[in-house]
Structure 1
Amino acid sequence: MSSSKKRFVPIAAVPSEAEQADGRATVAPPRKGRGTAWQIAHRFHSDEREGFDDGWGTLDQQASEEHLPPATQIIEEQARRVVNTNSSPDIFFELSLNPYRGCEHGCIYCFARPTHSYLNLSPGLDFETRIVAKVNAAERLRSTLSGKGYQPHPICIGAATDAYQPVERKLGITRAIIEVLSEHHHPFSVISKSSGIERDLDLIVPMAERQLVAVYLSITSLDARLSRIMEPRAAAPARRLETMEKLARAGVPVGISVSPLIPFINEPELERVLEAGANAGARTAFSIPVRLPWEVNPLFQQWLEQHFPDRAARVMARIREMRGGKDNDPNFGSRMKGEGLWAELMQQRMHKACARLGLNRQRFSLDLGQFRVPVARQADGAQAELF
């Protein structure tokens, strides 16, 4: 992360000091509306905390006290740059833009959780309650597009954290970004599990008519109860399918992501989710087995023990089968699909279901030729020609 200026803006009460303890010794029970209550220490953390009895029964009081769900805190950031280049050969986009760091959706499996470590914040509870908002993202994007060496490639919005998470309703950063892209006819895609994208149909539909946008909605389960456990603040599965239908009816190319696939949790639903997506208008689909990098691993395993104690051991055993005997595989080529018999079986199921449902018969093709160079860049070029 660049060394940029930040300002803390509380939109409700900040979690107490007790709630911010690292929690390694005792993990708090689940909290309504949050993926985890564990303020797990990040991998760069050098301090340790432990409870201290001051003689007034403080420890007993903390153990029995009922806490309200911690509120969200916005951290405003003046980012130096917002468009990132992808160097991974197993990701389908070259450029990405994430208006936020951290995500209120609280998905326990989110591979982006460890990025909060670089902010000296916990990848656990902090990740979903302390949201970094790049308030100048639209301005920085316009500056990037104006760069003399800039060559247009489709920009993927929300690849790491959801661009339409709840704070977007208040801040509108994502909408401002799409306004810039629309103004300059720059192609982009969006990955989201929020119905908030419907707000921006007035911008997205005209761009879809010019082959400048594609939208991918992530639906991990059709079971509302399971979805609430996995993704506590994301839109309900039925609501996401409704959004998919609205986008498809409006002529917006829509795809479905059934990711991550977690063995024995949502993996049995793969074919049913794909069928629901196809019926709602999806034309393409993809899925990725669950990944457990860095702090996501202990957070995920603790979540399994809390919510699925009857199958936690089976889930982890199957994940290790797909990850070369380890909890996680960070290697290019295998990290997005796994390896071994079980991974191959899931890939076969995915391919056969897509073939039966008519998914992935034609990939979305976004038009790069319509890009309009920003006026500032045109002026610089004209000025240079004078000399």
Structure 2
Amino acid sequence: MLVVMRHGATSGQIGDVVRAIEDMGYRARPMPGAQRTTVGLVGNDGRVQESRLVGLDGVLRIIHVSQPYKQVSREWCPEDTVVELDNGVKIGGEDVVIMAGPCSVESREQILECAHRVGAAGATVLRGGAFKPRTSPYSFQGLGEEGLRLLARAREETGLAIVTEALDTDSMGLVAEYADIIQIGARSMQNYSLLRAAGRAGKPVLLKRGMAATIKELLLAAEYIVAEGEPRVMLCERGVRNFDTHARNLFDLTAVVTIQELSHLPIVADPSHGTGARAKVGPMSRAAVAAGADALILEVHPDPASAASDGQQSLNLDQFDALMVELHAVAGAIGRRIARAVVSAHG
């Protein structure tokens, strides 16, 4: 439910609405807007006594949010959410942000070389896994905290923001200490205790769609994070399970458009996992930008053939350079541009 205040409603009148909502046992979320303030009511599973609200001074009307995901819906907030990172990069605005880097942090030399090259080419966020969820328990699981320290070193040298995954509630605090964006991976999309922890970690969250999740389920997962008090959530389309064998997953480009219709949160596209094949990453990257994605997250490795994980879908550094030229052209054709680095990619 949203309580829409009249234009010019005083802080005292808004406070009266907040107190009335809290007196009924719910939480109130005041949201100042360009024209007027709305106050969101959260925590209700059913009908609310509207009569206690509509008669208060300054209240214009009551709006019922019909979707089961409340705070992430466009009904709740018609204006796009823009997530601003510490390095000044904005995700969800006019610019298209490029996140790039290896699937796994493997060594100091590997991550620093990759960071400098993708930054020089125009990426503004460095991706890299320190903790890796792998299908096989015998596969490379990541360097852990040492990987986080190497990512932090790369940030110091390049100015790139860092996005990296938290696997469980035990590692959430450690990841939040180092990362600019906490990633919740596809395998964890419906790990509700992890989502709640991410919502309390104090950092922006990149939430990936589960391998067999509907868009509604993705939005409800995002609601868990926002309900804990973290509004800076980005949704990621990374492909869903498919019966065909020509690609690792079915890269659902319609999800980009559908999510923008249903939610105010930024939408990120991951054509690396979405296709699982290096030759398909470029075409699907161009298509995702054309479809309106707010950001791309791409796997890039100095030597994909020797990568500890996902080498088959990783671009090499020269391929990434060439793709960036193409993405500038596609973004320009639809009236957008690729986000520029806020600081020099060479420190």
- TM-score band, normalised by shorter chain: 0.3 to 0.5
How high is the TM-score relative to the length of structure 2? 0.40
* TM-score, normalised by the number of residues in structure 1: 0.37
Q: Please identify the structure whose Cα radius of gyration is greater.
A: 1
